[in-house]
Structure 1
Amino acid sequence: MQNFSSVRPLVLALLALGSTASHAVSFTQNDVTLDINGTINGFYVNRESKSTNRATGASTTTNNSALTNGLLPGWINFVATTQANGQDIKAHFSFAPGINSNSEVIGLSNNAAAGGTGQGSPFSQIDTRNVYFQFGNNSWGTLKFGRDIGLFGRDVILSDMTLIGVGGTSNAGIPYNTTFGMIGHGYMYTGFQPQITYSTPTLGGFQASVGIFQPSRFAGDETKAPGFQGVATYDWKGQSTNVKVWTGAVSQSTSCSVSPCATQSYTANGFELGAKAGFGNFEAVAYAFTGSGLGLSTVGAQFFGGSNGAGNKTDSDGYFLQGTYKFGATKVGLNFGENKDKNGFALTGASPLNSIKNQAYTLGVYHSLNKYITLVGEFNDEKITNAADTNVDFKNRTISAGGIIFF
């Protein structure tokens, strides 16, 4: 059976990034093959947070530790593939549970809200991230229907070394069952989104994907049109050198039926450009993006705080740099990222702000214990400068150690 030219399941990309291989359990009945693969991780995290009032110089330092998931939750994937009438067919659904618990009372169930009391909650901590099917071939491409990883911001998070670790913003683990890695510090989170996406065949290393996505009411209360995302990539592989470059875009329009914005519509746009190059055991990543009305990139979630509701869009930009080197079974790496937002929506409400800036770097060590298990140690240093919201700056330092298994 031919391989699909469309986006692989995220976990398989992670397997490749972690210098391991997929060891899925596979069953074949008649002409249908069912593959089962997944990942589990756990980390000890110690985090020191310091807040400083710029006006008075007064500061407060707190220190906390946790046993938590990293940037990935747990993940179990079920992937069915077959072929009919010249079409490669694939169906994929997954479940992403985690180990995080915000109940401080042993034996009580979790509460879905961060900082909850440990009382029972009707909300499940299991996230269904992949629910889609696709069909196509190497002649005309592939069509995908369902929920899968987005296109804008996809390739940079798949290139982030902290994807199999913790990174920063470790206190975000509850109730999301993940940390944020370098999300909000160099790039925005692509997310897993309902979509209908077309991907071209790979031609000489070039491939493009474009799709319509579930619309977001980032401003106003009407979404007459879906969201649009597209990405184009070029891969070149040599004997000891590999180069990948990509560019992507996202666009979403909304409008209002009531005041104060009933007389106009709003469009959010984002653009990205990235490159990854490997030379022997060394690999480098460079990435940048810009957005208008796309949301608070310092939070990391697309369309959160894209506008203040009165026409003022949030302007965002950021960049991400990373270098890694492999010494046998051990990879060491250093990355740095910065996101900056200005105008538009403030974290505390619909008031204008001058700027919010997030900067962070991560130093990481990733050791492949065997073909299944990778041991991880990271140090993350983060600085948050909030120019007009609270007049307070934050510095966070996170030390984490743990491991992840892929099967």
Structure 2
Amino acid sequence: MNNKNFRKSGMAIALASAMCTSMGANAAVELYDKDGTSFSVDGYFNAFYVNRDDDVSDTRDSRIKMGFLPNTIGFNFSKEIGDLTLGGRSSFWTTINDSLDSPTDTAIDVRQFYATVDGSFGQVLIGKDFGLYARSNIFLDEILMGFGSPGAAGGVSFGNIRTGYPYPTPSAQITYRSPDMGGLKIAVGALDPADTVTGANDENTTPRIESEITYSTNLNNLALTGWVNGRYQSAENGATTIDSTGVGYGLKGSVAGFVLAASGFTSKGNNPVLISNGAVTEDDADGYLLQGSYAFGANRVVLSYGETDAEIIDLETENTTIGFFHDVNSNFKLVAEYSMYEDKNRTTGVTTTDSDTVALGAVVTF
């Protein structure tokens, strides 16, 4: 079984899905391919001029920032041995927005560092990769290569994280993926658990379990993709037990250049921004994302709206984005976006952020 399709997992699959076009431009550059062994490199580079006006704080800010996806370089390995194909990927994601805070020190994080074993049974992945819960929600986002809602001052924007879906935090894992069964694919993994209770005697007697089922088909030139994903974890500290559960779902259809997509999630005991260590409660969070796009020639326009209602962090958010993407060529893209983001305290109803953002950017891939 050839592993080339799997070698472009992670960022490459995400970008290809986001474009819903021939993102063959994002195929890795083969540096070596001989006698069943291959080594390749892929890269993603972007920068945006960002002008943001926040009515609550009465401030206007102009920045040069990266978009929703950080700048990335990835290395892919593959070797065929008998009936198995052994593979691996390491990718390094870097910010370009720490220049003034740390003039000679750029923050780099490793979101993927894993090996794969492929055969007729499917694939087993061991190492660090994105989680399965909310994975397709974010990877199939129509503004994945854009900017979206505001994020951390020194990092990426948040896209639609916290306004429609949580982030599938990269985690240590052992994950099984089934072969393609007529468009149906199943993945289930044991992931390193998040420390959702604190104290000297906190326990995680079982790993975090995440899974995803996807189905893709084509009906008279109507391409459809549907998915359901989820997670479960239980943590204890003496008399305190936190059960964390979450379900993500979505449906995306495309025909004649038009794309319509709807996705959502509901969870308990999960931070709706990202899964990380830190004490939480078993309060709820849910959200949804609605998107439409139309591609004509080298251009694509997108309208996106998302909301999250999070009892667990006492926050309500919404984000509307209008985006325009233009392919100069297969490796070079120009992006223009206008986003309206608002969040408020769920209990008091007081608006804490009300910002309009204009983002003009360029993306180069190889």
Under a length normalisation based on structure 2, what TM-score does the superposition of the two structures give? 0.92
Contact 2:194 2:275 in 1 (8 A): no
Question: Of residues 261, 270, 282 in structure 2, which corresponds to 1:294?
Answer: 270
Contact 1:69 1:173 in 2 (8 A): no
How many percent identity over aligned positions? 28
Residues 1:189 and 2:167 are matched in the alignment: yes
Residues 1:157 and 2:138 are matched in the alignment: yes
Question: Of residues 295, 318, 326 in structure 1, which corresponds to 2:295?
Answer: 326
Taking only aligned residues, the RMSD between alpha carbons, in angstroms, comes to: 2.0
2:47 corresponding residue in structure 1: 42
Contact 1:219 1:254 in 2 (8 A): yes
Contact 1:376 1:403 in 2 (8 A): yes
Residues 1:370 and 2:341 are matched in the alignment: no
Where in structure 1 are there 5+ consecutive unaligned residues?
A: 52-59, 111-123, 257-261, 347-354
Secondary structure at the residue paired with 2:138?
helix
Contact 2:94 2:109 in 1 (8 A): yes
- Give the distance between the partners of 1:398 and 1:242, measured in 2 at CA: 33
2:214 corresponding residue in structure 1: 233
- Give the distance between the partners of 1:158 and 1:248, measured in 2 at CA: 13
Residue 95 of structure 1 and its aligned partner are, at CA, apart by: 1.2
Residue 321 of structure 1 and its aligned partner are, at CA, apart by: 0.5
**Any residues of structure 2 matched to 1:3-402 within 5 Å, and which?**
3=3, 8-18=9-19, 19=21, 20-21=23-24, 22-26=26-30, 27-51=32-56, 60-101=57-98, 103=100, 108-110=103-105, 125-137=107-119, 139-170=120-151, 172-174=152-154, 176=155, 178-220=156-198, 221-238=202-219, 240-256=221-237, 262-295=238-271, 297=272, 300-303=273-276, 307=280, 312-342=281-311, 344=312, 346=313, 355-388=314-347, 391-402=350-361
Residue 240 of structure 1 and its aligned partner are, at CA, apart by: 2.0
Moved over 6 A (4+): none
Residue 5 of structure 1 and its aligned partner are, at CA, apart by: 6.8
- The one-letter code matched in structure 1 to 2:127 is G
The number of residues matched between the two structures is: 358
Could you say if the C-alpha distance between residues 320 and 392 of structure 1 is closer, same or farther in structure 2, counting changes exceeding 3 Å? Answer: closer
Contact 1:5 1:202 in 2 (8 A): no
Residue 303 of structure 1 and its aligned partner are, at CA, apart by: 4.8
Which structure has the highest strand share of the two? 2
- The one-letter code matched in structure 2 to 1:324 is S
1:214-234 residue CA offsets vs partner (Å, 9 max, x unmatched)? 111112432221101000011
Under a length normalisation based on structure 1, what TM-score does the superposition of the two structures give? 0.83
Contact 2:74 2:92 in 1 (8 A): yes
1:283-307 residue CA offsets vs partner (Å, 9 max, x unmatched)? 1111111101012x2xx11257662
